[in-house]
């Protein structure tokens, strides 16, 4: 089974200059804990709810004045839409993440794949192995 068959295709992203408070509001509206960050039609980073807490709130910074760039993590790791699910799960385990952006051959964002997506589509063993690896790092 290929990633493109099970990934979440509706993906919102925000610019690096978006206020953290607005990004957090977007996460709440979309019921997600992760937003891709784009600039000039390119993926430049990832922002998680954890990034907001650790890089802003815990440091006493004001989320209404800080931007996504201030809290995001750079060094985008991604999957290609035509990769196999097992390969994707292994990649997620290796990188110790539960979700990753999915790009097409032109490296344009086309979706998000989570371990939940993998498990929900009958690949519980793959998702379980990946979660075990991620838990070891915690």
- Give the least confident one: 5-9, 15-19, 94-98, 129-133: 129-133
pLDDT grade for 124, boundaries at 50, 70 and 90? low
Q: Which CATH architecture best describes the domain 3-137? A: Roll (3.10)
Find all residues with CB under 8 Å of 99, minimum gap 6, and list them: 34, 92, 112, 113, 114, 115
pLDDT of residue 127: 67
How much is the pTM?
A: 0.82
Distances in Å between the Cα of 100 and the Cα atoms of 11, 56, 64 are: 12, 22, 27
- Does residue 106 contact residue 131 with C-beta atoms inside 8 Å? no
Tell me: pLDDT of 135 over 90. Answer: no
Percent of the chain having pLDDT more than 70? 96
């Amino acid at each position: 089974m290929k990633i493109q068959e099970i990934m979440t295709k509706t993906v919102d992203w925000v610019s690096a200059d978006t206020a953290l408070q607005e990004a957090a509001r977007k996460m709440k509206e979309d019921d997600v804990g992760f937003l891709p960050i784009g600039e000039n039609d390119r993926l430049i980073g990832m922002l998680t709810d954890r990034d907001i807490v650790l890089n802003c709130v815990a440091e006493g910074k004001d989320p209404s004045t800080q931007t996504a760039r201030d809290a995001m993590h750079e060094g985008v790791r991604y999957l290609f839409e035509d990769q196999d699910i097992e390969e994707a799960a292994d990649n997620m385990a290796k990188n110790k993440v539960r979700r990753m952006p999915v790009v097409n051959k032109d490296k344009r964002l086309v979706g998000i794949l989570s371990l939940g997506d993998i498990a929900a589509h009958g690949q519980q063993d793959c998702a379980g192995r990946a979660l075990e690896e991620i838990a070891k790092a915690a």
